[in-house]
Amino acid sequence: MMETIMEAIGIEVVEITEEKVVATMPVHGPTRQPYGLLHGGASVVLAETVASVGSFNLVKAENKAAVGLEINANHIRSMREGKVKAVGTPLHLGRKTHVWDIKITDEETGKLICVSRCTIAIIDNKQ
């Protein structure tokens, strides 16, 4: 199996349905910035992972791939330790693009850490 950024930083997908994708990520060494806080880039990786996995699950075609086209994120609150939970829900499911809303919260308290919107392109997968 190919090692991906998911394994490198500890992202675990815990639920995949047609209505949502849920994943968790620890706040630890690889996901912290130099000041000990959750790195905003790690939150963005988590958000795009949730959207990409969700779109790939919906496409269900061997000759298609789901890849990030655009993403934005608003970092609301910081974290130093624990685990974050991302819940992604589709806002638009077109033939060539999907748009996802992703909310990242502190898994323990439920407090909002980051909100993100990610556009996924559905492309031909020529392996």
Q: Which residues are catalytic?
A: 48
Question: Contact at 8 Å (CB) between 11 and 65?
Answer: no
Question: Contact at 8 Å (CB) between 25 and 83?
Answer: yes
Question: How far is the CA of 14 from the CAs of 17, 20, 85, in angstroms?
Answer: 10, 11, 10
